[in-house]
Amino acid sequence: MPTETERMLAGELYDPSAPELVADRERARDLARRYSATSEAESAHRETLLRALFDAVGDDPAVNPPVRCDYGYNVAVGDGFFANFGCVFLDANRIAFGDRCLLGPGVHVYTPTHPIDPEERATGRERAEPVTVGDDVWIGGRAVLNPGVTVGDGAVIASGAVVTRDVPDRVVVGGNPARVIREIE
């Protein structure tokens, strides 16, 4: 029988109150709290904590605290990753950023989703869908990426955009819900 963690990562309904998941979230929150308590002068210590928190970290990561995440072990960031102050990664499933991704302040990335049916939702069970961000993507401040979206290489997500569906390569999207504003030549 699969564990709740296995169900979560498979995109199936899972119970987030399962003790194994509660312990994993506590571990991630402790690491994020410790990371967020560091100063800019502690760059080596910051990188050590970030590598303990996230599943994979490329070269030269920069994350301005505070940072928040559910599990951490489902987040992967490529080379030259930069996240400005106050980013949130709800990583009940995989969140993968390519190389040279830039995140403005307060960017939120969500993988968990709840059942639409109120009786099913009342059970407390939820699902999670992965979010994938390509290389050379710039995500403006306060943008939100919703469960299951893929953002193509070279895309720009405007500040405050709410991304509810996939974003093609080399476009600028904005609005709520986000739509293509223009292509990038």
Q: Which residues are catalytic?
A: 114
Give the Cα separation of 6 and 141 in Å (integer): 33
Are 163 and 178 a contacting pair, CB within 8 Å? Answer: yes
Neighbours of 59 (CB within 10 A): 10
Residue 121 structure tokens: 């939702």
Q: How far apart are CA 159 and CA 113, in angstroms?
A: 23
d(CA 55, CA 22): 18
Distance, in Å, from the CA atom of 178 to the CA atom of 78, rounded to the nearest integer, reads 24
- Give the strand order in the sheet containing 162-163: 67-69, 87-90, 108-110, 144-145, 162-163
